[in-house]
Structure 1
Amino acid sequence: MNINQIMLAGTALEARGSGALHWPEERLLAVSDLHLGKSERIARNGGGFLPPYETTDTLARLDAEIAATSPRTVVCLGDSFDDMAAADGLTDAATEWVTRMMAGRRWVWIEGNHDPGPVDLGGTHLAELPLAPLTFRHIARPGASGEVSGHYHPKASVRARGRTVSRPCFLYDRDRLVLPAFGTYTGGLRCTAPALQTLMRAEARAVLTGPRPTTIPMPRVTA
């Protein structure tokens, strides 16, 4: 089973092996940091060439999660595009794919630091989405409660069959839940990074993504 249950603010949520979050009671699916168009943006800015397949792969995995969960609402938690030019540069095929996934459901684009403005793809554009008892936003805020966010692209490592496996992960404690990046070409920030060590409570746990999501205590820096 590729689902681990997380309780946040008395709400039962499902951390899925893909990196998507499902709220069954609300029939809501949330994903973060798709970073569509990343390879195009890197090439446009004179960087190295990456095979331009990440948009197709990311959309295919999102489409599969929508088919599996049949959500009424899809929330994209910011940085859905690598920048606004990448949003404008979507191919006709990718635009039609997104439009088809949006049909018949509420689709919310949360503003991120890479894509702060609206994109001409329909849906609703919000700085954050309050849906009691939870609030969905891109970047976690100190002191928040019942918060679901992204931005940090957390990843963690675990020993399995004599080797160390590193994977994107969910992080959660009693106050907040941070989603992994869903985009195919997105990197990751280790849980031992100071920003995540400071953000998460001492009892925080990590759910590593993959065919069998694994829950472990959030790795900590030891003296």
Structure 2
Amino acid sequence: MNSVTFAFVGQTLTALPSGALWWPSESLLVVSDLHLGKSERIARRGGTLLPPYDTVETLTRLASDLQAISARTVLCLGDSFDDLMAGEALDDNARDALRALQAGRRWLWLEGNHDPGPLDFKGEHLADFSIGPITFRHIATREAGAGEISGHYHPKAKLQGGSRPCFMADEGRLILPAYGCYTGGLDWTAPVLRTLFADRALAYLTGRRVLTVPVPRAA
């Protein structure tokens, strides 16, 4: 699958090319910032019209990951919907696709800043979630101890010739890239993001295969 496996607070985790995180010992697949319904939300607010295929493409990618990895639990790290109305506006096809992915699995929805409350979807709706030495939440907190995994910032590595969404990690903190289509990203050297990490942080770049590179110092 062209993934990269690494150690994090004594656990073995795998960064997948799609931007999902796999924790095999817990049979847990983690995704962040799906932003389902983004094109609908932008159209509703009078923005530039986008092709309305983002939800289908995002759920198709997730289905592919779940077909390759039979996770017993899926954890969505917040901003799963572009806003609460976007979640309510999902059409029947999208809802059916989501129900099919949830069937036979434990499904955890963490609250994000775009979706700060539960929607009418199967699963558990939580502010955060802890298992073993790891705590999952939507937005990283500076006072968190080792073992925090979050999303929110949509980190992107700017390289010669373009940029790629990336995981960012040091010994105690891990931030996932956005999993959804049509999502922008924050440069990996932006001070608000880079200063969350130790100097010797690593990035796992998504794409056809995951690449491991050191994160540059903040600009």
Same fold (TM over 0.5): yes
Whichever residue aligns with residue 42 of structure 2, its letter is: I
Alignment-derived partner of residue 86 in structure 1 = 86
> Given the alignment of the two structures, is residue 150 of structure 1 paired with residue 151 of structure 2, yes or no?
yes
Residue pair 1:128, 1:136 contacting (<8 A) in 2 also: yes
> Given the alignment of the two structures, is residue 170 of structure 1 paired with residue 167 of structure 2, yes or no?
yes
Whichever residue aligns with residue 217 of structure 2, its letter is: R
For residues 49 and 159 of structure 2, what CA distance do their matches in structure 1 show? 31
Structure 2: segments with no counterpart, 5+ residues: none
For residues 93 and 217 of structure 2, what CA distance do their matches in structure 1 show? 44
Residue pair 2:128, 2:138 contacting (<8 A) in 1 also: yes
For residues 218 and 124 of structure 1, what CA distance do their matches in structure 2 show? 34
Give the match's secondary structure for 2:195. helix
For residues 221 and 75 of structure 1, what CA distance do their matches in structure 2 show? 30
Shift of 1:203: 1.0
For residues 53 and 2 of structure 1, what CA distance do their matches in structure 2 show? 26
Deviations 1:147-192 (A, max 9, x none): 1100000000334xxxx23100000001111000000110010011
Alignment-derived partner of residue 202 in structure 2 = 205
Deviations 1:91-139 (A, max 9, x none): 0010011011101110000000000110101100000010011111100
Structure 1: segments with no counterpart, 5+ residues: none
For residues 41 and 23 of structure 1, what CA distance do their matches in structure 2 show? 32
Alignment-derived partner of residue 13 in structure 2 = 13
Whichever residue aligns with residue 129 of structure 2, its letter is: L
Residue pair 1:197, 1:220 contacting (<8 A) in 2 also: yes
Whichever residue aligns with residue 173 of structure 1, its letter is: D
Residue pair 1:156, 1:219 contacting (<8 A) in 2 also: no
Shift of 1:198: 1.2
Fraction of identical pairs, as percent: 58
Where does 1:33-72 land on structure 2 (aligned, <5 Å)? 33-72=33-72
For residues 101 and 218 of structure 2, what CA distance do their matches in structure 1 show? 41
Residue pair 1:108, 1:126 contacting (<8 A) in 2 also: yes
Whichever residue aligns with residue 48 of structure 1, its letter is: T
Matched residue pairs, number? 218
Shift of 1:200: 1.1
For residues 48 and 165 of structure 1, what CA distance do their matches in structure 2 show? 23
Q: How large is the RMSD of aligned CA atoms in angstroms?
A: 1.0
Query: Which of these residues, 202, 209, 214, is aligned with residue 217 of structure 1?
Result: 214
Taking structure 2 as the reference length, what is the TM-score of the superposition? 0.97
Shift of 1:43: 0.6
Taking structure 1 as the reference length, what is the TM-score of the superposition? 0.95
> Given the alignment of the two structures, is residue 186 of structure 1 paired with residue 183 of structure 2, yes or no?
yes
For residues 110 and 89 of structure 2, what CA distance do their matches in structure 1 show? 20
For residues 53 and 39 of structure 1, what CA distance do their matches in structure 2 show? 8
Alignment-derived partner of residue 113 in structure 1 = 113
Residue pair 1:13, 1:24 contacting (<8 A) in 2 also: yes
For residues 200 and 119 of structure 2, what CA distance do their matches in structure 1 show? 38
Residue pair 2:195, 2:218 contacting (<8 A) in 1 also: no
> Given the alignment of the two structures, is residue 74 of structure 1 paired with residue 74 of structure 2, yes or no?
yes
For residues 150 and 131 of structure 2, what CA distance do their matches in structure 1 show? 13
